[in-house]
Amino acid sequence: MKKALAILVIVTMAVSAFAMGGKDGAAAAAGEPATIKLGGTWPLGDITGKQGSMAAQQAVDEINAAGGINGHKLELIVIDDEMKADKGASAFEKLITVDKVDMLIGGMASGVALGQIPVLKKYNKVYLATGAASFKVEEALGADANWYFHLHPWDYNQGASYAEGWAAIQEKYPEIQIKKLFLAYEEGAFGKASYDATKVLFGADDRYIIDGAPFKSAALGGGDYAAVLKAAKDFQPDLFLWAGWEADALPLLEQSKAMKFNPGIYLGAPPGWPADFGASSLANNVMLYGMWAPSINDISPVSKKFYDGFVAKFGIEPATYFAPLSYSAVYIAADAIKRAGSTDTEALIKALAATNYDSPLGQTVTFTPSNIIKHQGVKNQKILQWQNGRQEVIWPFDAATAKPVYPFPAW
């Protein structure tokens, strides 16, 4: 009897809490009809999601300070997806059905995006995605998802741009010659996809000899890279690339130094770097893949505006390209809503498809078809290098802020 009553009380409390949540959302929507709502999910416990959501809020504040969109204030509702598929899906359900947002933005991990896709397909809500590089996401979306606008390059886009970049660098700087390439990759989906794409894109015409080995990321309980570094050292690569998470960045370098492993090019490709990585003496001349660096401020006024605003608002430097990417997403959304003159889905899709945005990434963003979807934004990454504590752009040359330092100095 008591057990049954206890269950009754608990269930009633839980249901009331969520039912009230729904009513609050509806009341807020009714009370503020003039507000245009953007709903975003990011992994807030990770630097990519934390800074991405902060930068999105910065853009919202800037737009509101400048008068909003056609007289309407812009509001951003952020929910933590905790890098879990079910949490990400649940967050989208809330944003769409309870908060009744006009448009969705954000995202980082492909695993979360895959869990969110059934919800997106159910509501066909316009979504401007800042993450999800895996081709599996594109496969799951299918060709009919015209409401899906993907800002971040797909994994195969990134691989293709790296191959193009290294070919261009070798042509421009003849002292840099790459024949043997070794990829150390974290054993999860991100690392394995990077390795597969590297093998396909770099191994296509036998120009490069490629080898690789997996490691368990420090972010997932690993942190011992001796085996993979030994395999790399024995291979004697001209270019050593690692694809893992930010937690691997410094331990990998420390263990490489301990093992006296110093390839000509030491390159990292995590989605985000530790905030103070550049301050480490080990970081100097490490190369990296990325979409943005503070040095782009030198060549792009939009980047400088973003950077100065971010530092002034939050007191820290943006340490991941997800910050300017999410900032861009808000501006692209606001511009499309302004041009569409409404938040009607079809009008919004049409306006977004016609986007031509001078972004803080140092390049103009437009949407063109990719392998499956119709609206792919950025298709390339940049090749950068840590030089004296600063990330410099090495390639593409039209956005370059420095020449490459080669070879990677011996330990």
Partner 1 sequence: MKNKTSYAIAAGIAVIMIAFPAFLGAYPLNVARSVMTYMALAISWDMLLRSGQISFGIAGLFGLGSYASALAVLRGGMDPFLSIVFAAVFAGVMAYALGFVVLRLRSMYFSITTLALMEIFRIIIHNLHDFSGGPEGVVLPGVIFKGSASALYWLCLGGLFITIGASYYFEKSKMHLALTAIRNDETSARSNGVDIFKYLLIAFVVTSTLQGMMGAIQVQSYGFTMPDTAFDGNFTLLPLAMALLGGVHSTIGPMAGAVLLGVSAEWLKLQIPYGHLVVYGIIIIIVILFMPQGIVGMVRKASRTGRRSGRKAGASNE
- Based on the shown chain and the rule CB under 8 A, indicate whether residue 379 belongs to the binding site for partner 1: no
The DSSP result for 240-258, as a single string, is: EEEE--GGGHHHHHHHHHH
- Based on the shown chain and the rule CB under 8 A, indicate whether residue 4 belongs to the binding site for partner 1: yes
The DSSP result for 128-156, as a single string, is: EES----HHHHHHH-TT-TTEEE-SPPHH
Q: Single out the segment in contact with partner 1 by CB under 8 A; choices: 8-16, 175-183, 258-266, 278-286.
A: 8-16
Size of the site for partner 1 (CB under 8 A): 55
Nearest to 268 by CA among 204, 350, 368, 183: 183
Supply the angle between the helices 110-123 and 189-202 in degrees, to the nearest 10.
100
- Based on the shown chain and the rule CB under 8 A, indicate whether residue 262 belongs to the binding site for partner 1: no
Q: How far is the CB of 126 from partner 1 (least distance, A)?
A: 18
- Based on the shown chain and the rule CB under 8 A, indicate whether residue 227 belongs to the binding site for partner 1: no
Distance CA 98, CA 100 (A): 5
- Residue 363's identity, in one-letter code, is Q
Q: How far is the CB of 81 from partner 1 (least distance, A)?
A: 10
Nearest to 403 by CA among 295, 324, 318: 295
Among 59, 69, 79, 201, binds partner 1 (CB under 8 A): 79
- Based on the shown chain and the rule CB under 8 A, indicate whether residue 27 belongs to the binding site for partner 1: no
Q: Single out the segment in contact with partner 1 by CB under 8 A; choices: 119-127, 156-164, 225-233, 244-252.
A: 119-127
| Cβ contact 193:269 at 8 Å | no
74-80 and 36-42 beta bridge pairing: parallel
Distance of CA 138 to the CA centre of its chain: 16
Q: How far is the CB of 3 from partner 1 (least distance, A)?
A: 5
- Based on the shown chain and the rule CB under 8 A, indicate whether residue 18 belongs to the binding site for partner 1: yes
Distance CA 100, CA 81 (A): 18
- Based on the shown chain and the rule CB under 8 A, indicate whether residue 50 belongs to the binding site for partner 1: yes
- Based on the shown chain and the rule CB under 8 A, indicate whether residue 247 belongs to the binding site for partner 1: no
Q: Which is nearer to partner 1, 89 or 160 (CB)?
A: 89
- Based on the shown chain and the rule CB under 8 A, indicate whether residue 46 belongs to the binding site for partner 1: no
- Based on the shown chain and the rule CB under 8 A, indicate whether residue 122 belongs to the binding site for partner 1: yes
Among 28, 29, 73, 97, binds partner 1 (CB under 8 A): 97
Q: Single out the segment in contact with partner 1 by CB under 8 A; choices: 4-12, 164-172, 176-184, 362-370.
A: 4-12
265-268 and 239-243 beta bridge pairing: parallel
- Based on the shown chain and the rule CB under 8 A, indicate whether residue 133 belongs to the binding site for partner 1: no
Distance CA 14, CA 408 (A): 58
- Based on the shown chain and the rule CB under 8 A, indicate whether residue 179 belongs to the binding site for partner 1: no
Residues 6 or more apart from 378 whose CB is under 8 A from it?
151, 152, 153, 157, 291, 325, 361, 363, 365
Q: How far is the CB of 244 from partner 1 (least distance, A)?
A: 13
The secondary element (H helix, E strand) that includes residue 400 is none
Q: How far is the CB of 69 from partner 1 (least distance, A)?
A: 24
Q: Single out the segment in contact with partner 1 by CB under 8 A; choices: 95-103, 263-271, 339-347, 369-377.
A: 95-103
In the three-class reduction of DSSP (H, G, I as helix; E, B as strand; rest coil), residue 297 is classed as: helix
Among 168, 176, 189, 372, binds partner 1 (CB under 8 A): 189
Q: Single out the segment in contact with partner 1 by CB under 8 A; choices: 168-176, 191-199, 222-230, 321-329.
A: 191-199
Q: Which two tokens stand for residue 16?
A: 């009331």
Nearest to 165 by CA among 379, 411, 312, 318: 379
- Based on the shown chain and the rule CB under 8 A, indicate whether residue 269 belongs to the binding site for partner 1: no
- Which parts of this chain interact with partner 1 (CB under 8 A)? 1-8, 10-11, 13-15, 17-19, 21-22, 44-45, 50, 53, 78-80, 82, 84-87, 89-90, 93-94, 96-98, 111, 114-115, 117-119, 121-122, 134, 136, 139-140, 187-189, 191-193
